[in-house]
Amino acid sequence: MTVAEVRSWPWSLWAAQIRAILRLELGKTFFNRRAWWIYLAALAPVILTTGHSIATLYIDQMSHGLHTDVKAYAGIFQFGYLRVFLFFGCAILFTNLFRGEVLAKTLHYYFLSPVRREVIAAGKYLAGLAAACVLYSVSVALCHITTFMHFGPRFEEFYFAGGGLEQLAAYVGVTLLACIGYGAVFTLMGLLFKNPMIPAAVVMIWEGLNTFLPPALKKISVVFYLKSLCPVDVPVPGPLSFLVQDAAPVPAWLAVPGVLLLSLLAVIYAGRRVRRFEISYAE
């Protein structure tokens, strides 16, 4: 394949088709009757942190300091968001991009249209990515704010003079990167497996055990690179700490391109896979 052949491809037509699919899929994603699982996974941490602030303000009477809540939020983000809430939400959202259409018996409308299947895959992935990024970046920001809002004047000092905004920006950035990585992986799973929830559960267990894996195996995981980008480290407390095998965190200049490259390869392979995807509504 030469550069001239690549330049001759109808890029403007494909871009217009992707935009059309993106608009259509966004409406289906946000207003789908199955979307309540995704909203629940995004709102659950906010409800928990809001309840924590209310209880601290009116019951606990500020018996702990700001540093304690900084550690607490880091733990919620790394062990709650990355391994449970965001992971679970992305698994449902992206595996249903194609499997949901099969269950609804509507995928053939896409395949009968004069659009390349790779373009359909790209448009669906971008729609799922836009929905996931909006929901979970807003959720992470609200969760961060509600974690510290009970500190009163110290809340403003923490955000504008104590590095709070920088931490929040880092957490939102990691969230967007997580949506890109997990979204690509689960989009591909939705095309490879008739029941993608089973391999998704296997991946969830693997990501959850990442802390206790040997250093060489830690690197075969998305969460390891995301954790390296988090602004606050969270050690494993209690008796499980002796099972932890430390591994040097990956620098940002390597972690970010690594996750993006993995995502790009997964989306490209998904585009190739969808060319051979066969619809069987009877199954």
> Taking a C-beta distance cutoff of 8 angstroms, is the pair 145, 172 a contact?
no
Residue 62 pLDDT class (50, 70, 90 cuts): low
Highest-scoring range by mean pLDDT, 6-15, 49-58, 83-92 = 83-92
pLDDT tens column, 156-198: 888 887 788 999 999 999 999 999 999 999 999 999 888 888 8
> Taking a C-beta distance cutoff of 8 angstroms, is the pair 81, 136 a contact?
yes
pTM of the model: 0.90
111: its two tokens: 């395949």
Is pLDDT of 60 > 70? no
Is pLDDT of 237 > 70? no
Sorted by where each begins, the domain ranges of the chain are 22-274
Question: According to the model, what pLDDT value does residue 61 have?
Answer: 54
CA distance 45 to 139: 8
Runs of H (alpha helix) within the chain = 3-7, 11-30, 36-55, 66-75, 86-104, 107-112, 117-148, 153-160, 164-192, 197-208, 215-218, 222-229, 252-274
Q: Which residues contact 234 (CB under 8 A, 6 or more apart)?
A: 71, 74, 75, 78, 79
Residue 242 pLDDT class (50, 70, 90 cuts): low
15: its two tokens: 């871009």
268: its two tokens: 């490209």
Is pLDDT of 241 > 70? no
